[in-house]
Structure 1
């Protein structure tokens, strides 16, 4: 089910209200610009580099320690009391090796940090694109609402100025003139409010694009096609597979599992190997070469506290995953319902709803000036024109917002 005609008219009218002489741009071009220039993107890119550096660090082997010593070797023969002296020196290398499997576990944990950083980057890009689209559609709606409010306000202002200049005779014409003047003031305030909303949307959108708040911005006419959402089961399946927050929870559970395995591995101590060489020269020349191995005995410390803490954090991660899954299902169901309700409401309206109200308002103005239409009918038609524009915009923006929320939750596009 599609509603291109009604929405196309909504955007065709935007061409009549371009402000500041800015060159109109498309919503997609704004999204691409934001994704290329938004400063916070560099933060997430740097976070990926930090995680990659952490993996490199996790895979590094500890550097060996070298000990060099020099001294004097004093030798006394107890039988002859002969004394001899000579230089002595020693060299020793100490290299510590982790227990087998420990290094790979640390690298696996660091790899999950990289995946989380990459997921955070992708999530921010998707959220930024969604935010730009939301504000862009609000800007388009604000442009149309401003145009309609200003159009009706100018009619009343023009009519009020003409009637007051005529100095109408009698109470009824004079009171009618005052009613029109009061309506002009009220509608002028509504037009001002609409312009303020338009400016606020433009300011926020410029900020997302890295532009100055007062930068002129005009959006190009676009056809907005709102298709009913797919079946709820399909949306839930897509959300379970692609949702950024849920995928992050899955990675967290996997990472906590690696932490448990690492804590168990750390029950076994590191092994230290010490090759050495020692040489001294007196009456004789002595050289000693050997290798030593040092390994702590795991008698008193079996790393039980760290293992229990890692298991508890794994349980917490699993519980948070379950809670995230339930929250995701609720959010998907709610947004799908909102989107379906708005699209069903839009489907009830004829394709020329706004056009018919616009023509009726213009026709009422013409007939009232000719005296062929009572004031009550004229005023009601003008106000209903503005009310109909607001009603259509509210439903359209509600549908757009719900669709964008669904796209964020399911990690995909529902535009087609």
Structure 2
């Protein structure tokens, strides 16, 4: 057969393609090559979605389980006891561990790290095989083949820029996730403070409702005995209904706030937690120093700066793309005349029209957009901090006189209550003092609640640690 012919030139002998690559050797070599390629492959493993939500356990059990598997310092872990009253700081830490949205968001960090890994991998070489099989083998033609091994060198020049992009983007993602954790933790602190003061207001309103109900019943008895007028009894009835409505409205707010808190904590809606009084710091006086502090430590600003660095690397990467990319290779071939060749090959892109100008324009425009977004975020941060500081100073000025006078009003109300029970003071005078004392007491608690919430909001706006209040 033509495929087995030997063709001699002088003293040398030239083997045909079939003799140079016998079928057995081709099978064994192909098998070895296939095994080598498959040895580095990753196998597929399915990851099915859960068909139902995880079972809801008691809040104490969920918190204890989260703390057991959390990587926390021993001191912080021991400071959180689910069976005891919890502070807003402890609940903020628990929210970071249990919140389902944060759990899903932390998966982005794994994606970002995988992108860093992918950016550092060099491209595989390309192997191309082809054959020309003449149909007229009787004419003395040989089977021709062509083998080429090519490798693109463009990735060698762009690999550092690709790694800079991926690493900066990974830092940005880490800061973004940390900022979301920080926001959730501080939102928990705000809700915790709101819930604590609402419970104090509801307890005060409930005691007032009990007192007004007792006065109303007494006035009803006096009306039947002829010792009171219907006007007095009706006023007592209205005061009792108002007190009851106030207590019920506060109870509804408590229920909604507790459900919002449990949602952030990842706890069942019906879970009930006992809270400790919030720790309030001093009223800030220098908003400019807080703005400088926020620019240095706020996680969202750090995320924007890392994202801007990633975009700077993209601009450099796109500029590198305007230069010609080339590949080198090695080609071995034999034609139908059984002439064998072996030589290098080079392929080069000619930058005539494209020159990556579109990618450069997009990268530079995106960089300008991120630059403007960072300036806008910094401007917003400054405005937010100045507003919160002004609100805290105003609230502190309103709280100070009430904090001095309300205890005196409450003591006076107690004395008048005893005097009214001994009929030394009219019920109308006592009711007037009692209602005003209740109103001022609720006003003081509402102002303290607003102050506590605004202070937690300022801590979040500045990005300060909880132990170092702004």
Same fold at TM > 0.5? yes
| Contact kept? 1:89, 1:279, Cα under 8 Å | yes
Contact 1:226-1:343 at 8 Å conserved across structures: no
Residue in structure 1 matching 2:255, options 187, 196, 199 = 199
Match of 2:359 in 1: 306
Rounded to whole Å, the distance in 2 between the matches of 1:124 and 1:354 is: 40
Give the number of aligned pairs. 386
- Structure 2 vs 1, CA of residues 309 and 139 (structure 1 numbering), >3 Å: closer, same or farther? same
1:362 aligns with 2:414: yes
Measure how far apart 1:311 and its partner are: 2.0
Report how far residue 163 of structure 1 moved. Answer: 3.1
1:155 to 201, 207, 211: 211
Q: Distance in 1 between matches of 2:213 and 2:196?
A: 26
The reply on whether 1:68 has 2:125 as its aligned counterpart is no
Identify the residue that residue 53 of structure 1 maps to in structure 2. Answer: 114
Whole-Å separation in 1 of the counterparts to 2:314 and 2:343? 38
| 2:349 paired residue among 296, 316, 319 | 296
Deviations for 1:85-129, whole angstroms, at most 9, x for unmatched residues? 444443211211216531211221122221121111111111111
Greater RCO, CA 8 A, separation 6+: 1
Unaligned runs of 5+ in 2: 1-82
Superposed displacement of residue 167, structure 1: 4.1
The residue aligned with 1:372 is 424
Q: Does 2:99 align with 1:38?
A: yes
* C-alpha distance in structure 2 between counterparts of 1:374 and 1:224, whole Å: 42
Matched, 1:274 2:329: yes
Give CA deviations for 1:38-94 in whole Å, capped at 9, x if unaligned.
001122211111122222222222222212234557999xxxxx9534444432112
Q: Secondary structure at the match of 1:101?
A: helix
Given the alignment of the two structures, is residue 115 of structure 1 paired with residue 153 of structure 2, yes or no? no
- Give the Cα–Cα distance (whole angstroms) in 1 for the partners of residues 309 and 172 of structure 2: 11
1:178 aligns with 2:230: no
Paired residues for 1:237-386 under 5 Å: 237-279=292-334, 286-350=339-403, 353-386=405-438
Unaligned runs of 5+ in 1: 1-21, 77-81
Structure 1 counterpart of 2:451: 399
Find the aligned partners of 2:155 and 2:280 in 1 and give their Cα distance. Answer: 61
Which of 279, 282, 286 is residue 231 of structure 1 equivalent to? 286
Task: Give the aligned partner of residue 28 of structure 1.
Answer: 89
- Tell me the TM-score normalised to structure 2 length: 0.75
**Aligned partner of residue 278 in structure 1, secondary structure:** strand
Q: CA RMSD in A?
A: 2.7
Structure 1 stretch displaced more, 185-194 or 300-309: 300-309
Q: What CA distance in whole angstroms lies between the structure 2 residues aligned with 1:365 and 1:347?
A: 27
Distance 1:74-1:223 versus aligned 2 partners, 3 A rule: closer
1:90 equivalent in alignment to 2:153: no
User: 2:465 aligned with 1:409, yes or no?
Assistant: no
Report the CA distance shift for 1:44/1:223 in structure 2 as closer, same or farther (over 3 A): closer
Asked if the contact 2:420/2:427 (under 8 Å) is kept, the reply is yes
Q: CA deviation at 1:223?
A: 5.4
Distance in structure 2 (CA, Å) of the matches to 1:31 and 1:327 = 25
